[in-house]
Amino acid sequence: MPNYPPARIRNVALVGHGGSGKTSLAEALLYRAGAISRLGRVEDGSTVCDHEPEEVARGMSLSLALAPCELEGHKINILDTPGLADFVGDVDAALRVADLAIFVVSALDGVEVQTRTVWRMAAERGLPRMVFVNKLDRELADFERTLDELRAAFGTGIAPLELPIGEGSGFHGVADLLTDTAYLYDGGEVRAAEVPEEMEAQEHRVHETLVEGIVEAEDALLERYLEGEVPSFEELEAVLAQGVARASVFPVVCGSATVPVGVDRLAQFITEIGPSPLDRPPVTVRAGDVDTLVAPDPDGDPLAFVFKTIADPFVGHVSVFKVLSGTVRPDEVLRNPRTGDDERLHVLFGLRGKEHVELDQVVAGDIAAVAKLRGTRTGDTLAPRSLPVVVAPLVPPVPSLSIAVRPRTQADDDKLAGALHRLGQEDTALQVERNPETHQTLLQGTGEAHLGLALARLARTFGVHLDTEDVRMAYRETITSPAEAEGRYKKQSGGHGQFGIAWLRVEPLARGAGFEFVDAIVGGAIPRQFIPAVEKGVVEAMEQGGVYGYPVVDVRVTCFDGKFHAVDSSEMSFKMAGALGFREAMARAGPVVLEPVSLLTVVVPDHQLGDVMGDLNARRGRVQGTEPLGDGEQEVTATVPTSELVRYAIDLRSLTGGWGRFSVRPDHYDVLPAHLVDRLVEAAPA
């Protein structure tokens, strides 16, 4: 593949809701560019971008895929993103390095939830956006309805550049509103023609609206237009390109990725009005406490940002990076400022799905990959050794769903830690936590599909098979009233025996106060050197569990009396006396089980607020308040028992059709209702 200057590079992310046709569009663009000889189909797993076995089996994209192609003197790096909300981390990575986001919207389903979510993400980055209205060859497809939904959702910046010719199975072309030209498709061939007579009035009306919208952005052009001069196509296109680069105009084109119709027009728009890396703002890098702006200059210092890591079973870890400055060549040595280590980039290659295309250099603005970097992971910067600057790392999405896993065999257990570490380097949204209270290993991710993919990848790529089990809650126990008890430990077995008696008083403390031990012994009832042993016995008994078997918290224990034997008493005897006395006193002190409670924040559309509030009440939640956020959304804050939120990521998605989103964090412990304590006792293993 020849080298292209930054001005001739287009980094394009295909984004949108699952099932809108992003991968099919990527395939059609590759076919249009001559990068592939035939169109693959998502349904049979023959596309370039969906090449992982899990993607083939499910018929959908599950991770970010890269597919470069060459077209009309340009290099287009296509970033095909997954449409499921579970994999929003890969979408964020694509938006981070893309210079244009193309939103693929189904003309059947209109503007769906993930489209809105990703639009919000792109808007926060100020990223240029276009829309491709897809599937116009399907029955019940409706371009006008979809266009109305786009305007309602994303505002007046939505600017249609094309109108479809024909409907459903009769869809066979598009009308270009800038040139007043129809492009008709027949048997894979395309020809220019006049706009069909029945569309002339509509096309002329929309054309006038489009031209007026474009010239308003350029004072000199507007003045000439008001004087009756018709702007040329080249002038309109130049002003339109400026509006796209500023992310103030969002062109809408249309077609069908599977026929394909209109894909060649989209490719032409990408090269003609799509921004290059030079059209985007410089990247902010940090050296110490000083921020600096870096432009994509091929002659500058080499600087690269790793935005994706792939665990390849044949070549190991593959780091996919964008060159932000300079020109990177094979065997270049760059420093990873996070680790302080030097990394040699031995062989550089482009990725087209699973195909590797070796490169002799990668210039600023371009995207490539390298294998076998030692300590580099997703989100790292690779900088010159003399200038170890860093780029802001990617922020992985907060996990919203956990499953408990255990190795199936000892061999799986031996490989588990290493496999999880390597998988975590590839997928930063995946987290692993060992709960010290429940002794479970928790695999945490963004949803059911995300965790299912992680388990499948562990088995296929690393040979580690895991079984899942219910997530256990870290319950605790405390007391509700004072009580006293004698702890007596007496044992005689020939020679020195064991003798220790400790009288203990237990009292409840405020929630979250922890543990307090009071030495109230007077008159030498228990020798001083044995008092710490009593406390140690109490602490160990608390950790081993109270009446219901859970760790005990928020208790004051006072040792106020006892007896000892000059020969048979020892630290061991008083440690045992402390443990026995505590257990006896706690049983008399009104023991209760405490459950963890989380602070939950849910954002939902206005019309779904009642459903979500009712669901929270059913989960024993206590709503703290609601607040309107604008854009038709409400934020609900509530405290909810953590046990009721184990599957909330799945349930909220089902309840709101994917429109709801939430965050959760541990908040406090509260008393578990008595009838639920009975269920815990019944469910406890014998």
Domain CATH for 610: 3.30.70.240
Residue 269 C-alpha from the chain's centroid? 30
* Entry pTM: 0.88
Domain harbouring 465, CATH code: 3.30.70.870
Residues 620 and 679 grouped into a single domain: yes
Q: Read off the pLDDT of residues 435-477 as tens digits, 9 standing for 90 and up.
A: 988 889 999 999 999 999 999 999 998 899 999 998 999 999 9
Domain of residue 679 covers 595-683
Residues 115 and 203 grouped into a single domain: yes
Residues 208 and 319 grouped into a single domain: no
Per-residue pLDDT, 685? 62
Task: Find the distance separating the first CA and the last CA of the chain, reported in whole Å.
Answer: 67
Residues 207 and 221 grouped into a single domain: yes
Q: How confident is the model at residue 65 (pLDDT cuts 50, 70, 90)?
A: very high
Residues 428 and 530 grouped into a single domain: no
**Phi-psi domain of 406 (left: phi exceeds 0; alpha: psi -120 through 50; beta: other):** beta
Is the pLDDT at 188 greater than 60? The verdict is yes
Q: Is 627 inside any structural domain?
A: yes
Q: Is 164 inside any structural domain?
A: yes
In the chain, how many domains are there?
A: 5
Per-residue pLDDT, 317? 86
Is the pLDDT at 686 greater than 60? The verdict is no
- Give Cβ neighbours of residue 339 (< 8 Å, ≥ 6 apart): 375, 376, 380
C-alpha count within 13 angstroms, C-beta hemisphere, residue 75: 23
Spell out where 233-282 has E strands: 250-254
Per-residue pLDDT, 217? 76
Collapsed DSSP state (helix, strand, coil) of residue 529: helix
- Residue that finishes a domain, picked among 333, 362, 391: 391
Is the pLDDT at 556 greater than 60? The verdict is yes
Per-residue pLDDT, 495? 64
Rounded CA-CA distance 460/453 in Å is 10
Q: Is 322 inside any structural domain?
A: yes
Percent of the chain exceeding pLDDT 70 equals: 99
Residue 320 C-alpha from the chain's centroid? 18
Q: Is 178 inside any structural domain?
A: yes
Largest CA distance in the chain: 117
Q: Is 337 inside any structural domain?
A: yes
Q: Name the β-bridge partners of 336.
A: 341
User: How big is the CA angle at 74 (ends 73 and 77), to the nearest 5 degrees?
Assistant: 155
State the chain's mean pLDDT as an integer.
92
Q: How confident is the model at residue 575 (pLDDT cuts 50, 70, 90)?
A: very high
Is the pLDDT at 364 greater than 70? The verdict is yes
- Residue that finishes a domain, picked among 534, 559, 589: 589
Percent of the chain exceeding pLDDT 90 equals: 78
Q: Is 396 inside any structural domain?
A: no
Q: How confident is the model at residue 496 (pLDDT cuts 50, 70, 90)?
A: confident
Q: Which of 413-422, 537-546, 591-600 has the lowest mean pLDDT?
A: 413-422
Domain harbouring 297, CATH code: 2.40.30.10
Per-residue pLDDT, 422? 83
10 Å CB burial of residue 436 (0-12, 13-18, 19+) is exposed
Q: Which of 327-331, 353-357, 582-586 has the lowest mean pLDDT?
A: 353-357
Per-residue pLDDT, 684? 67
- Residue that finishes a domain, picked among 349, 369, 391: 391
> In the predicted model, what is the mean pLDDT of residues 510-537?
94
Q: Are strands 622-630 and 633-641 parallel, antiparallel or unpaired?
A: antiparallel
Per-residue pLDDT, 164? 97
**Phi-psi domain of 247 (left: phi exceeds 0; alpha: psi -120 through 50; beta: other):** left
Tokens coding 81: 């993103």
Residues 84 and 171 grouped into a single domain: yes
Q: Read off the pLDDT of residues 152-166 as tens digits, 9 standing for 90 and up.
A: 999 989 999 999 999
Residues 14 and 93 grouped into a single domain: yes
The 8-class DSSP code of residue 188 comes to T
Residues 217 and 119 grouped into a single domain: yes
C-alpha count within 13 angstroms, C-beta hemisphere, residue 389: 19
Domain harbouring 554, CATH code: 3.30.230.10
Residues 217 and 350 grouped into a single domain: no
Per-residue pLDDT, 579? 96
Residues 487 and 532 grouped into a single domain: yes
Q: How confident is the model at residue 678 (pLDDT cuts 50, 70, 90)?
A: confident
- The answer to whether 326 and 361 have CB atoms below 8 angstroms apart is no
Residues 364 and 244 grouped into a single domain: no
The 8-class DSSP code of residue 199 comes to G
Q: How confident is the model at residue 388 (pLDDT cuts 50, 70, 90)?
A: confident
> In the predicted model, what is the mean pLDDT of residues 315-322?
90
Per-residue pLDDT, 510? 94
Residues 117 and 207 grouped into a single domain: yes
Tokens 């987290």 map to which residue? Answer: 431
Q: Is 351 inside any structural domain?
A: yes
Q: Is 270 inside any structural domain?
A: yes
